[in-house]
Structure 1
Amino acid sequence: MGLFSFFKKSDKVGKDSAIDSKELLGASKKETAAQAQAIHTKLSFHPDWNVPQEQKYVFNFLANELEPLKPNQLSLAAINIEEDAATGDWNVKAFFRSSLSQPVSLKEIALFLTDVDGKVIAKQSFDFAQLGVIPAESARPWVFTFKKDSLLTDAVPAEGWKIAFNIVSLRGHQLDLDTQWEKQLNDAQKEELRRVVSSLPKLRDKEVNFTGIQQHVMDNGNLQITLLIRNGNDRDINLEQLPLEIVDAHARVVASGTFKLDPVLVVRANTSKPWTFMFPSTLTHELHTADFTRWTARVPQQ
């Protein structure tokens, strides 16, 4: 296979990025005190590979440099990055490792690369089924090709970089309830919110979306709206000030204003947070003729 040509005697094992297997596989088996010891993973080759003897020496040399894992961990150990001069893609050499006591096979998983300062420099999903079944307590060498359009920098990092699982993307988009909401809502209401969150269209990468879920015109002319603030980023967002417009079914702006959020409203990565905003009557426009059979909330264009 062409894969073998990527691994050289000059390669060295770099940083390791390990997670508890329950992050990918759900609840993990509890280890007894006798089993809770460092696990040295054994080199494993894909069953379809016919590895030349000289290449086995290279792989064994690299595998011997790997640090032991804790029980029930999955890990990606960085080796090297080579840029494809023709395409600009990055061929990222690494070991996928498992300290589980049983074989493991995975499906599509999002990975990212970080530089020495922890800054994300590439993100892409990979089909781990191609790696085959990974035996218990083993390490399998692989090349993950990050396409040029997945790279967030032009410079290949020299050292200190890591390849890691994108845990935020793995858990799926979830409901993020503020502490007060958690206390005030009953189980049925929380479940209904979760259903709404799961039924909405998937967000684009880094998209922040405001979805209206409830509105109420009060007797004093104020307009109360409840939104789902949807965060498609893989990092939390902090909202200190939020300009909003409410548009009715006839595309008329029926309320507009800017809300100062104190304390800062934090919406966790890859989650939707419900929040209620009150427009005073001075910031509404002809609510008595507004058609709320369909309405939207948006951040006005500057």
Structure 2
Amino acid sequence: MVKKVQNKELDKVEKIEDDRLEVSTVLSLLEHDDNVMSDVQKEILEEEIAELEPIKEDQVNVSGIYAYNSGDKVEVKVYIRNGLSKGVKLEYVPFVITNSKGDTLAYQIFNLESLGEIPARSARPVKLYFEKKNVYVDNIPMDDWNVGFDTRINVKRRVRAEYENLPKDIEVEEKIIFDNFLKELPELNEGEFTVSTFSIGVQKNGNILITLVMRNGTNKPIKLDKIPMSVKDANGTVVKSNLFELKDFSVSPFRARVCNFAFPTGLTLEQDVALDNWSVEFKLQEVAKGPENTETSAD
């Protein structure tokens, strides 16, 4: 067995040269592991974490404990430590083992979805099994190896956006519907801005009303001056298209906003009609023959 533990305690927060803080991380286990593991085993893991080099805030780090030749594979125990202020989920991650000269000793991509979300300021133990075809030396040297993420990795942090500027008099039932819609949307990565269609319908006054939910996963307000939009019917025919101009419109950092856009049709209906099979595309397109698209509005 090749053991590698750094001899430095991680029991405080202190300033470092680049103005980022060194952060402590605590043991985090999956529910099953937490239930079956004894207190003694947990104490051993906590001691291993305490001996690792400190990590900086906003850093996701991998630290190796041992590399063991198990026959057809090399078992490598690591801790993935999350120095972010929010949880992080990893999917397909490339790991590389190198020596002090920078030579690559092993390289393999692992699917880490089963780890779930690693909470903020926590460390999760993981065993990686490198296939022998991905190990380029006969043996991993005992005192000269290091495991890390491939430098090309882009770890994405998930963001949970909450609504802003909902009407104060919104009905409870309606708010629940909007909340459920937000929860069911694909996860939002930090740095992303998304626009999702909540509903399309025709109002009694003849307007085709498009309700969108915009989510801002960046740390800065996103301002929109214009948004192109085309509406297609169930057959994929473009029935309306317009460039909406927005005034003083923005979505705050890590927030979601409900927006309504209306295309007048000149029709009059007895009741509102939902257009469940219709769709929206955010670009201008040629409109099929029909009533002139002369008036549009947004709010």
| TM-score of the two chains, using structure 1 as the length reference | 0.45
| TM-score of the two chains, using structure 2 as the length reference | 0.45
Per residue, is there more helix in 1 or in 2? 1
Q: Which has the larger radius of gyration?
A: 2
